[in-house]
Amino acid sequence: MLRLLKYYTQYQTARGALGGLPGWARWIVFLAAIPGIALLLLSIFVFVVSLLALLLLAVPMYRLARWVTGPQREEEPFRAPLGGVDFVEPAEFVSPSAGVHGDTVVETTVSETTVELTPVARQGRRQIEVRIVEP
């Protein structure tokens, strides 16, 4: 934000300096700036023309490639390893905990259910409820 303020201040200083010049001096500064303005406009024009040339060549090739490869196939949905289970249960049972950390009381409830390692194991996940109580 400070950099933007600095650039704005420099712009206002230059504007004030140009505004303080007599009319004929401003005209000379404008004539000196014409080649730079022309080059800026020319570079924008060349960029647009090159972009159109790229599209003129690429779009027909894309359509030809789509025609050669045929209609789009429906892709299979991604399946995670282990039938969609994205976590591994610990080897030993971990009891539900209620602890105090600093001034914040954290109560955790773990409800155990059976987890089946099948592609539709989404119903067998554990539900963990965490309640943070602040004094």
Which residues touch 121 (CB under 8 Å, ≥6 apart)? 83, 84, 85, 115
Map tokens 């400070």 to a residue. 2
What own/partner pairs with CB < 8 Å and gap ≥ 24 does 29-34 have? none
On the question of pLDDT at 20 being above 90, the answer is: no
| In the chain, where the domains are located | 2-69, 81-88+95-133
Tokens of 83: 């039938």
pLDDT bucket at 121, cuts 50 / 70 / 90: very low
Give residue 43's pLDDT: 97
In this predicted model, what pLDDT tens digit does every residue of 46-88 receive, in sequence order?
A: 999 999 999 999 999 999 998 898 877 777 666 655 555 555 5
The pTM score is 0.40
